[in-house]
Chains A and B, each alone.
Chain A
Amino acid sequence: MSETDKHLLNPEKWVSLHADYLFNYTIGRLNDRDLAKDLVQDTFFSALKAKNDFQGKASERTWLIAILKRKIVDYYRKINSIKGKAEVRMNFYEDGDREGEWLEERAPTDWSGEIEKKIENQELAVVLEKCIANLPEKHAMVFRMKTIHHIETEAICKELGITSSNLWVIIHRARTQLRKCMEDNWFKN
């Protein structure tokens, strides 16, 4: 690559050129406005500190996204270790002799009529949003990436450093809990 092909950094313009893009990228993964804002700001600071390491091979934005991705995975690891362990996991299935069978009180029950109408109701999104917010944070994060933002399984695994079987266990737990939450707060109330 000749000197003239090299990308250059222009920190004075970072905010106006890339802040929205980085912010949207983060919101897609964390759905927390304040946290997203902090991570974007942190990304700019780290980038500034590391600006002498920038070799100009990738564009400025690609380089900034790479730094942001590391911040996101650090955050994921943090919630996975500290908070993840402190969270009380809700069990849906039996242990012991009847391992893997439905716990009677958490098994699905019939949703009485008018399901169609309830799906069309605008309030649905609000209630569903609350149910997602009740999930363990790590589950909510992976669930959103996969279900709401339609990011490919492989991409999520790579980004968060998890295996696909990890991912499917998380999705399974999230969906089981969300079904129950929506049954209690929407379809049967």
Chain B
Amino acid sequence: MKLTCDEATAICDKSQYKEASLWEKIKLSIHLFLCKKCGLYSKQNKVMSTCYQKLKDVEGVKKTQLSQEEKEFIAQELKTKTAPKR
């Protein structure tokens, strides 16, 4: 029934993805009621989730791609490998 701070914050992290079970959430709220540090962790964890979402948005915009030269290089390498050996 009683959680350590390590266990409580682990559930707290899991619940940020909405994947903590009901029982886990109950145990967590009891712990948070009693533990100030984990309460702070929980509050800041929500802020962190917002930050991760921001990062996702930024990454979505700057789409990484292979350059034309890189593709040509790979194509060339492939061709060399497919060429019949003498």
Binding site for B on A (CB under 8 A): 11-12, 14-16, 19-20, 23-24, 27, 33, 37, 40-41, 44-45, 48, 92-93, 99-102, 107-111, 115, 119, 124-125, 128-129, 146-150, 153, 168-169, 171-172, 175-176, 178-179, 182-183
Contact = CB atoms under 8 A, between A and B. Distances in A.
A14 B74 CA distance: 10
Nearest to B48: A179
Contacts of A44: 74, 78
A167 to B, nearest CB: 10
Contacts of B71: 15-16, 19
State which size class the interface on B falls in. 35 or more
Contacts of A37: 66, 70, 74
A129 B62 CA distance: 14
B50 A100 contact: no
Given A125-B58, A172-B9, A176-B9, A45 B48 contact: no
A87 B1 CA distance: 33
Given A15-B75, A110-B40, A172-B13, A128 B51 contact: yes
